[in-house]
Structure 1
Amino acid sequence: MDSIANVSPVSHPKRFSSPTEQLAYWINAYNASVLTGITDAYPVSSVKDIRLFNGFFNRQKWTVGGQELTLNNIENDIIRTQFNDPRVHFVLNCGAMSCPPLENRAFTGRSLEKRLEKALKRFISNEHFFTLSGNQLYLSKIIDWYRNDFATKNRFTNPNNPDMDPLISYFIPYVSQPVEDRLRSPTLKVQFHEYDWSLNSQPIPSVS
């Protein structure tokens, strides 16, 4: 956390010359802050136990490049607002079981694009985040909370179903043909898994 506290794309912009380097930094800053906060408060069973009324995300501040920022500042005011890439939701780890698993190495600008794509594929291969059952698609609650991020990054249009939910169409390019055929169905409905705030201890599944 010392390097994050002292250096950022704001305090030292020449060190982060590309948007990918900047985004990689902010993802690392968020995840490292969460991990430090949990470690400092441990033992706890949930990040919600660290500070009441969601204070871990809204009120607890971290020194990032000389600035005092909350986790919500980092995620909402910087990462989501400045970079507009919904794939960040597959790598930001809030410490809860229903968050994507924390990766075991820091992100870099050079490998960021590849790792974001792999994280997206991990997401749709994990039944806790993406489940097809009959004519129901069950998605992580994260997708519901940030639905506008995905709706504005539609990657696919379905001429046979122009009213397709953008939360469905976003994932079309990443699924197998049989799954795609089911996602195209005009009768498909989207539901959301309940969010589990207990501490995250998920292994990271491999994706080829």
Structure 2
Amino acid sequence: MTDPLDGRDDGVGRRSRAGDRPPSTDPTTLARELLERVGRGEPADDHLRTLADLSRAALEPLRSDRRAALAFWLNAYNAAAQLLLERNPELFDSRWRFFRAEALTVAGVGLSLDDIEHGVLRSGRSKYGLGYLPRLSRSGLPKAHRLEPDPRIHFALNCGAASCPLIRSYGPETVDAALDEATRTHLEATVDYDPDRDRVRVPRYCLWFLGDFGGRSGLYAFLREFDQLPEGVKPSLRFRSYDWTKTPRLFA
């Protein structure tokens, strides 16, 4: 598999390292370049400024292209989280402050990690209430930017904790296949099905965001889809504890 942080197709047929040219003004390419620079430990200020200076019109394509929007926001979140850990590591001592601190500016709008994950990627759903409740606070972006919740994002977003999934770089054309791979990889490492005891242990995300999976029946279907449960079984669910030990730069 190609190293996601090495030279690669940027989604428009070019192969090069992000540092070989000025930042792209295409949002999806720009977010991907930003993440890849962060992964290599290269300066990212030019990319951050370009992202902040984008016009609202430049973001319009994201409102009608789900794959481009998904790739953009996944890359933006993971880059923002890593930069926040690097530049303000003390915030991680208080998860309340860490997830609510301004982490990235997109088209003039300051966004927190919660704004990106729950305001955009989860379509304005609260991180409380098992994924069923609406989020009361606003992200600052129009509602048209909200994406329908996709449970696979929980196996792609990395906030810097030890239990977080590995970070990958996403492109619009391959985002669904890459999300499937990220989900399968993480589930294979964290799901433990015991047919003798009729129980299965799953990642904590599956409890925190049970509504994103479609409830318990949806979660069973999801686990079967990714080959973690055989057809026809509904074992007792157990949810793993979450290791919040700060562990930045977990790149695939």
| Fold shared, TM-score > 0.5 on shorter chain | yes
Say whether the 8 Å CA contact 2:85–2:92 is kept in structure 1: no
1:38 to 76, 85, 89: 85
Aligned match for 1:135, one of 189, 192, 198: 198
Q: How many residue pairs get matched?
A: 178
- Structure 2 counterpart of 1:112, from 164, 171, 175: 175
Encode CA deviations 1:126-153: one digit per residue, 9 max, x unaligned: 1xx211133221111111111100117x
Q: CA deviation at 1:83?
A: 2.0
* Structure 1 residue 13 displacement after superposition: 2.9
Structure 1, gaps ≥5 residues long: 153-163
- Residue 185, structure 1, aligned to residue 233, structure 2: yes
Cα displacement string for residues 80-109 of structure 1 (whole angstroms, at most 9, x for unaligned residues): 112221111111111111111122xx3111
Query: Where in structure 2 are there 5+ consecutive unaligned residues?
Result: 1-47, 124-145
Residue among 109, 124, 127 paired with 1:67:
109
| Per-residue deviation, residues 8-56 of structure 1 (Å, max 9, x unmatched) | 7x451355462211111111111111000111134x6xx631xx35111
- The answer to whether residue 59 in structure 2 is matched with residue 13 in structure 1 is yes
SS in 1 for 2:237: strand
Counterparts of 1:14 and 1:61 in 2: how far apart (Å)? 22
Tell me which of the two structures has the higher relative contact order, counting C-alpha pairs closer than 8 angstroms and 6 or more residues apart.
Answer: 1
Residues 151, 166 of structure 1: 8 Å contact kept? yes
129, 142, 159: which is aligned to 1:94? Answer: 159
Residue type of the alignment partner of 2:226: Y
SS at match of 1:132: strand
Cα–Cα, structure 1 residues 33 and 203, in superposed 2: closer, same or farther, change >3 Å? closer
Determine the C-alpha separation between the residues in 2 that align with 1:48 and 1:136: 34
Task: Decide whether aligned partners of structure 1 residues 95 and 11 sit closer, same or farther in structure 2, where only a CA change above 3 A counts.
Answer: farther
1:41-60 residue pairs with structure 2 within 5 A? 41-42=88-89, 48-49=92-93, 52=94, 54-60=96-102
Q: Percent identity?
A: 25
Amino acid corresponding to residue 107 of structure 1 in structure 2: Y
1:115–1:53 Cα change, 3 Å:
closer
More helix by share: 2
Whether contact under 8 Å (1:26, 1:79) holds in the other structure is yes
- Aligned match of 1:174 in 216, 222, 226? 226
Cα drift, residue 117 of structure 1: 1.0
CA distance in 1: counterparts of 2:166 and 2:87, whole angstroms: 20
The reply on whether 1:83 has 2:147 as its aligned counterpart is yes
Paired with 2:237 and 2:61, the residues of 1 have a C-alpha distance of 43
Aligned residue type for 2:68: E
Q: How far did residue 171 of structure 1 move? A: 1.7
Q: Give 1:7 shift.
A: 3.1
Kindly tell me: are residues 174 and 7 of structure 1, through their superposed partners in 2, closer, same or farther at Cα, counting changes over 3 Å?
A: same
Do 1:20 and 1:110's aligned partners in 2 also have CA atoms closer than 8 Å? yes
* Cα pair 2:152 2:183 within 8 Å, conserved: yes
SS of equivalent to 1:171: helix
